[in-house]
Amino acid sequence: MVTRIVVGYTANESGADALALGGRLAAASEALLEVVMVLPIEARGAVVPPDTGYERHLKERSRGWLAEASARLGDGVEQSLHIRYAESFAEGLVAAAHEFDASLIVVGAARGGLLGRSRIGSVANDLLHSSDVPVALAPAGSRETPVSLGVTRITGAVGTRSGAGSVLDISVRLARLTHAPLRLVSLVSIDLPAGMDEELASLASTAHADDVLTEARRALPAGTTATSVVASGDTIEQAVAALEWHAGEVVLVGSSRLATPSRLFLGSTASKMLRELPVPMIVVPRATS
Amino acid sequence: MTQEPHQHHTEPHAPLTTASAAVDGGDTGLSKKGLSAGSVGLIGAIVIGISCVAPAYTLTGALGPTVAEVGTQLPAIFLLGFIPMLLVALGYRELNNAMPDSGTSFTWATRAFGPWVGWMGGWGLIAATVVVLSNLAGIAVEFFYLALAQAFNNPEIAELVGNPLVNVATCLVFIVGATLISYRDMQTTQKVQYWLVGFQLLVMIGFGVAAFWHVANGTAFDPTQVELSWFNPFEVGSFSAVVAGLSVSLFVFWGWDVTLTMNEETKGSRTTPGRAATLTVTIVVAIYLFVAMGSLAFAGTGTEGFGLGNPDIQENAFFYLAGPILGPLAILMSIAVLSSSAASLQSTFVSPARTLLAMGHYGALPKKFATVSPRFFTPGYATIVSAIVAGGFYTVMRFISDEVLWDTIATLGLMICFYYGITAFACVWYFRKLWFKSGRNVFFMLVAPFVGGVILTVLFFTTLIDSMDPAFGSGSEIGGVGLVFVLSVVILLTGVVIMFWQRWKRPAFFRGETLSRAVAED
């Protein structure tokens, strides 16, 4: 079976980050890279008249951008280039992922352009709202990591919440495809009101995290080995910072229980992790089986 | 673009065949949406057309200046002004079908007449749109403060408009906002725009009805009997006055042509664009005539108070008439004009930016102008340059003229004559080998654009000569010469100077190496 990875490409730094991460994942897992540029449907609004001439120019320009991107990526990765039209970038990528039966969408996580408010760019944000395919967020600077580095470790962030099951499955599969060692992590934050017995509380939550990890390891398919670690800190951010990370590592997290069409499916823990993580993160939607 | 000059794309390392096949494969499967430009339906096309014409905005700007020239024959002039616009738009459509290109007039005139005429055609288009951008933002400023005054029931707020510093600052804020929206290509969804356009039309109809109701009740300012002579342009008396009125009234139909050229593949059938254009212009003309007649019947053409002949109210008629005619509902007119200006600001921003982009692309201007924002897919650099020039133009105008809005509209009329005229003749010349291939061609490629072009040429030169008179239009002058004349000449000469500068910096375009002359063949 050939796995396919869709890269949502834009001709800026954020797109270069996505392309580099996508290329690295594809090279490591021998997957096919589908580099997709999504152009806006001109007639989606009702103010600016559509203009065939401009649309043609845009397509030509995008073709040039794709060719340049492809040249930069090099021969190591099997790839094809696509231009698609959609109402929004996120919508076009999800549609492309379905079209190619892709198992992953890669986008740049960094915000770009003007008026960005959150740390996650609006494109990644939209995608996290709407995708039913796992989404990999390439942090700013991913373009500096060479494709040849491959994937040096897969880390699955497991919790007791629903969604963890699929995180575990997909982590195992990805580790096998990329021939990378698997690490399971349970994050504990000990953020307590003053006056509580901190020692006791810390002990209790660490014990709980241990249970979660034991449970997860028991659920691993036969023949799979994994290391596991409990990361604790006063906050999730500190817990994440306390862990050691490889340059070529990829982290998987599950989507929030609260995922509804109107809500970010990135849970609060996951978004705190994203703020701190030096490595790419793949968000696995709840419904993925 | 119709041609791809000297684009050195790096050859992809990746399986190029797969790559380009996949890129070309945009017409299969999912990307049926690839034919995206076609997905405008009839209603959508009409809404875009009305948004571009922006009747609430154009009327408030054009009513006064036109009445100043032709008095009660306003309806006649509005009807007459449509003729050259229609004739040229028909030629425009032929060119657009033969050479769809974001550079429109610039590209077509270059193809037909070579780089020099083409360059000036592009310059005329850019100048016209930059002038109208400043006018639009200026009108929006006045109605913004009027709406605030109405909302808080405090007439003093509306007087802030007269303070040049407040006025210019607000206007620049609006221009920055519109630039951001254009740069990021944030479009109102169709549903919202349907409501806004519907609202705009309803308010205009309500305004006309209320005006006639006041006339019937004897509460009108200067009740004036509607007469058939209002529709007779020969009653104006002077040829100069008709010409001056026409060159202002061109502006009220400007933008309508987009419905004709929107696309050949408009959703449904090939007849949709034609029907959309017809319906749009019918709606717009009906509204213009009704509102024009209502305003004349209510206010007359006297030079005192609310009379449309009063120079103090002429440059922004609804600003002064909405209160007496609509009473407590006057705020609706402010909202209608504001939303109409906002939509028009957005659709207008696109044309200079796309023309600048094409000029950059073909090497008629620095390459920077051809930059496309990789994130928003808009001509980012060109958009920002247009905005800076429009803001600068408004600021300068606000300080040298007391009647900025009026003078900019009169100047705009001249610029429209200039570049539409060039476009019309470009159509005639480009299709010269096809004229007599069919009866249809005789009309659409020869007669219509030629007659339209001649009318616009006559309008251009007559208005230009008349505007030297310091009493022309609003009466603004510099050193005893009419301001409109000075402005138009300065704008066009600036174009010539920049053109020669570009000729020196970028000779390839002017040698016809990037965009060559051509003639349509079967």
* Domain-wise residue ranges, chain A: 4-143, 151-284
Cβ-contact A126, A90 below 8 angstroms? yes
Average pLDDT score over residue span B450-467: 95
What is the per-residue pLDDT for A258? Answer: 54
Which residues have a Cβ under 8 Å from the Cβ of B42 and sit 6 or more positions away? B266, B267, B268, B272, B275, B276, B279
Q: Please choose, from the candidates B344, B346, B345, B370, the residue with its C-alpha nearest in 3D space to the C-alpha of residue B356.
A: B370
Note whether B375 contacts A12, CB cutoff 8 Å: yes
CA distance A41 to B187: 11
**Which of the two residues, B457 and B264, has the higher pLDDT score?**
B457
> In b/e form, how buried is each residue of A85-100, taking b as 16+ CB within 10 angstroms?
bbebbbbbbbbbbebb
Beta strands at A79-86 and A32-40: parallel, antiparallel or unpaired: parallel
Beta strands at B477-478 and B481-482: parallel, antiparallel or unpaired: antiparallel
Note whether B34 contacts A85, CB cutoff 8 Å: yes
Average pLDDT score over residue span B93-121: 92
Determine contact: A67 vs chain B, CB below 8 A: yes
Residue range B19-58, pLDDT digits in tens: 333 343 333 322 333 334 345 778 888 888 899 899 999 9
Average pLDDT, chain B: 86
Q: Is the pLDDT of residue A118 over 60?
A: no
DSSP classification of residue B72: G
Residue range A240-277, pLDDT digits in tens: 888 888 888 999 988 765 555 434 466 677 777 877 78
Residue window 284-343, chain B: list those with CB within 8 Å of chain A: 343
Residue window 59-88, chain B: list those with CB within 8 Å of chain A: none
Cβ-contact A7, A96 below 8 angstroms? no
Q: Is the pLDDT of residue B213 over 90?
A: yes
Determine contact: B39 vs chain A, CB below 8 A: yes
CA distance A76 to A222: 33
Residue window 363-392, chain B: list those with CB within 8 Å of chain A: 372-377
**Which of the two residues, A194 and B55, has the higher pLDDT score?**
B55
Which residues have a Cβ under 8 Å from the Cβ of A226 and sit 6 or more positions away? A175, A181, A182, A183, A184, A217, A220
| Domain A4-143 CATH assignment equals 3.40.50.620 | yes
Pull the structure tokens for residue B34.
Answer: 């690839």
Among A79-93, B8-22, B83-97, whose mean pLDDT is lowest? B8-22
Cβ-contact B109, B122 below 8 angstroms? yes
Give the nearest chain A residue to B194 (CA atoms): A46
Q: Is the pLDDT of residue B520 over 80?
A: yes
Residue range B244-262, pLDDT digits in tens: 889 888 889 988 877 777 7
At residue B375, the 3 state secondary structure works out as: coil
Distance from CA of A153 to the nearest CA of B (A): 27
Residue range A42-84, pLDDT digits in tens: 666 677 877 778 888 888 899 999 999 988 887 778 889 999 8
Domain map of chain B by residue range? 50-510
Determine contact: A146 vs chain B, CB below 8 A: no
**Which of the two residues, B188 and B241, has the higher pLDDT score?**
B241
Distance from CA of A32 to the nearest CA of B (A): 12
Count CA atoms closer than 13 A to A234's CA, side-chain side. 2
Ranked by mean pLDDT, the top range of A64-73, A159-168, B183-192 is A64-73
Query: H or E element: which one contains B3?
Result: none
Give the nearest chain B residue to A98 (CA atoms): B30
What is the per-residue pLDDT for A164? Answer: 54
Which residues of chain A lie closer than 8 angstroms to B51, CB-CB?
46-47
At residue B16, the 3 state secondary structure works out as: helix
Note whether A53 contacts B52, CB cutoff 8 Å: no
Q: Please tell me if the domain spanning A4-143 has the same topology as the one spanning A151-284.
A: yes
Note whether A67 contacts B193, CB cutoff 8 Å: no
What is the per-residue pLDDT for B8? Answer: 39
B50-510 folds as: Amino acid/polyamine transporter I (1.20.1740)
Distance from CA of B215 to the nearest CA of A (A): 36
Average pLDDT score over residue span B345-361: 90
Average pLDDT score over residue span B171-181: 92
Share of chain B above pLDDT 90, in %: 55
Average pLDDT score over residue span B358-362: 94
Q: Is the pLDDT of residue A2 over 90?
A: no
What is the per-residue pLDDT for A160? Answer: 56
At residue B126, the 3 state secondary structure works out as: helix
Cβ-contact A137, A22 below 8 angstroms? no
What is the per-residue pLDDT for B93? Answer: 87
Residue range B260-270, pLDDT digits in tens: 777 554 555 56
CA distance B354 to B360: 10
Q: Is the pLDDT of residue A222 over 90?
A: no
Residue range B277-307, pLDDT digits in tens: 889 999 999 999 999 999 999 999 888 889 9
Note whether B1 contacts A68, CB cutoff 8 Å: no
The vertex-B234 CA angle with B233 and B238, nearest 5°, equals 100
pLDDT confidence tier of residue A286, bands split at 50, 70 and 90: low
User: What is the CATH architecture assignment of A151-284?
Assistant: 3-Layer(aba) Sandwich (3.40)
Which DSSP string corresponds to A139-151? -TTGGGS-GGG--
Average pLDDT score over residue span B88-97: 89
pLDDT confidence tier of residue B13, bands split at 50, 70 and 90: very low
Which residues have a Cβ under 8 Å from the Cβ of B97 and sit 6 or more positions away? B264
What is the per-residue pLDDT for B263? Answer: 58
Distance from CA of A146 to the nearest CA of B (A): 17
Note whether A53 contacts B40, CB cutoff 8 Å: no
Determine contact: B8 vs chain A, CB below 8 A: no
